[in-house]
Amino acid sequence: MKPKSSHWADINAAKIVREKGEKDIYVCASGITPSGTIHIGNFREIMSVDLVVRALQSLGKQVKFVYSWDDYDVFRKVPKNMPAELEQYLRQPITLVPDTTGVADSYARANEIELETQLHKVGIDPHYIYQANEYRASKYAEGIKIALQKKEEIRAALDEHRTTPLPSDWMPVSVFCNSCNRDTTRVTAYDGDYGVSYECECGHKETVDLRNTKAVKLPWRIDWPMRWKHENVDFEPAGKDHHSEGGSFDTSRNVVKVFDGEAPVTFQYDFISIKGRGGKISSSSGEVISLRDVLEVYTPEVCRFLFAGTRPNTEFSISFDLDVLKIYEDYDKCERIYFGVDVANAKKKEKNDRIYELSQTHDVPKEMPFQVQIRHLTNQLQTFDGDIERTIASFGDLTEAQKESLRGRAVCAWNWVKNFAPEDFRFSIRKPTDPAPSISEDHTAAVKSVYDLIDKEMDTLDEKALNNRIYDIAHENNIEPVELFKTLYLLIVGKEKGPRLASFLKIIGKERLLPLLG
């Protein structure tokens, strides 16, 4: 199978078809335990799978993207951003931990809803599997039975990568007590078929039938490969921690054979760091940068662009500092090359065009979208004090689709200006009632000339002509142009610097400028 392009997603899609053969449907998988806020590092796996899914679809293949919520895992630790009262639920399934905000049925479901909502915004809508539902409905009874019957084979596979062998009484299952709901239990007997007996620290004892119990589940390193077989998974990437020698992928590759299955095609993805914003990526601590946080600064297409344009095994930073502007500019250039507005050589265009296609949340636009450069947009927004609708109106007659697209970018741009832009980048127009900065006598005469120019001529001059006239005024008053510019900025924004002056004056308009310069 030949890849559609040299893009890494297409290369991996072709590899999946080669290694798994022709199939009616290919299953691509991802998943996580919703034990806290799902951070942007976790999103890298989801995004990587989505890009490979799209690459497979580009080859004309039917694909099912399954996302497993491991919400039947045990609640081990209360995140720092959650109330201490949740300690009473430790050792219970996280699906039983209540949502203290009252929004969802459980703490786990609240985390699930949050990510599912944000994923939809970036064009990702997988088939969700909720493991608590699956285990409680005994969907994995046969898999658990196989694990118990072949526990010595599984023990050997796990011990191969352990420094200390598993204890002699080890069992390949964990049990949530039907009395106290905790996993503080010990399996006391297995009848070789579906019967499992256990006792709990709370004193409860019983024998359950795997075919109709919600109590028994498999631990992670057995559960994962069992589900590879159960879901017929063809592709699933994993982080470098799972792909380390002797890590969970190594052991699962061997354990899946016990279930008469085979490991999926995979690759390793690297970590993501954050630039220009405090906060450590850690679900358990609650100190995280989530997809929602990223989408406050980046539009969905630009967010996808960050991942589509970077190989999964390459570490990269998501920026919240001035690099935000460069990333938007890079995306806009990618778009212009795609539509032939900018020219690139054949090799670069092929790479560029595939990145652009994969960056779209849904269908690729049929024609070149309306673009507003991000730097200009941030200036416009600050000129209009963050008023999104006035900013959009300043760009003239636009279609409703163009307005909606620009609105999304403007919201992100304003969020960035307010929360992350460097102080010397920000400005606001002075109010006429604000105390005016003092200026020298020679500058006063020059400012009066600029006042007259704006009052009588600005509407008839283009930006270049207006700029030249201000230079002339500086020379006529024996002032260095740069010094006059500083004075004008002080009078308009209270700082010695600002956006390109002539275009800035045009944007502000005569009505707002004259009171400030008068």
> Is it the case that residue 21 has pLDDT exceeding 50?
yes
Per-residue pLDDT tens over the stretch 293-330:
999 999 999 999 999 999 999 999 999 999 999 999 99
d(CA 242, CA 54): 24
Tell me, yes or no, if the two domains 8-141+219-269 and 441-517 fold the same way: no
Q: How far is CA 499 from CA 126, 381, 492, in A?
A: 44, 12, 11
What are 272's strand-pairing partners? 316
CA angle, corner 329, sides to 327 and 330, nearest 5?
Answer: 65
Opening angle at CA 255, ends 250 and 256, nearest 5: 100
pLDDT at residue 46 greater than cutoff 70: yes
d(CA 430, CA 479): 24
User: What stretches of 360-462 show up as alpha helix (H) in DSSP?
Assistant: 374-383, 388-393, 400-419, 441-456
Band of pLDDT at residue 439, cut at 50, 70 and 90: confident
Compute the distance between CA of residue 328 and CA of residue 323 in angstroms, rounded to an integer.
9
**What is the structure's pLDDT at 286?**
44
Which ranges constitute the DSSP H helices of 296-339? 300-308, 323-338
Paired tokens of 164: 């200390």
Residue 279 has pLDDT above 60, yes or no: no
* pLDDT-based confidence at residue 287 (cuts at 50, 70, 90): low
Which helix (H) or strand (E) segment holds residue 238: the answer is: strand 238-239
Instruction: Provide the pLDDT for residue 278.
Output: 52
Q: Strand 127-130 to strand 216-217: parallel, antiparallel, or no bridges (unpaired)?
A: unpaired
Quote the CA–CA distance of 394 and 172 in Å, as a whole number: 66
User: What are 22's two structure tokens?
Assistant: 């022709």
Q: How far apart are CA 100 and CA 368, in angstroms?
A: 47
CA 410 to chain centroid:
19
Cα-flanking dihedrals φ and ψ of residue 341, to 5°? -70, -40
> pLDDT by residue (tens digit) across 387-423?
999 999 999 999 999 999 999 999 999 999 999 999 8
Residue 187 phi, psi dihedral angles, 5° rounding: -75, 125
Residue 193 binned pLDDT confidence (cut-offs 50, 70, 90): very high
Secondary structure in 3-state letters for 439-490: CCHHHHHHHHHHHHHHHHCHHHCCHHHHHHHHHHHHHHCCCCHHHHHHHHHH
Q: What is the mean pLDDT of residues 119-136?
A: 98
Q: Could you tell me what percent of the chain has a pLDDT over 90?
A: 86
- pLDDT (tens digit per residue) in 493-504: 999 998 999 999
Query: Per-domain residue ranges for the chain?
Result: 8-141+219-269, 174-217, 273-359, 374-425, 441-517
Instruction: Name the band, by pLDDT with cuts 50, 70 and 90, for residue 171.
Output: very high
- Write down the mean pLDDT value for the chain: 94
* 441-517 CATH fold: Arc Repressor Mutant, subunit A (1.10.10)
Mean pLDDT, residues 472-495: 94
Is 23's pLDDT higher than 70? Answer: yes
Tell me the CATH class for 8-141+219-269. alpha beta
Residue 378 near residue 372 (C-beta atoms within 8 A): no
pLDDT at 285 over 70: no
Q: Say how far apart CA 10 and CA 353 lie, in whole Å.
A: 13
Average pLDDT over residues 250-279: 90
User: What CA–CA distance (Å, rounded) separates 32 from 126?
Assistant: 14
**Amino acid 284: pLDDT:** 40
On the question of pLDDT at 280 being above 50, the answer is no
Question: Is the per-residue pLDDT at 432 higher than 90?
Answer: no
Task: For residues 451-463, give the mean pLDDT.
Answer: 93
pLDDT at 129: 98
- Per the model's pLDDT, the better-predicted residue between 16 and 102 turns out to be 16
Report pLDDT for 282: 40
Domain 174-217 fold: SH3 type barrels. (2.30.30)
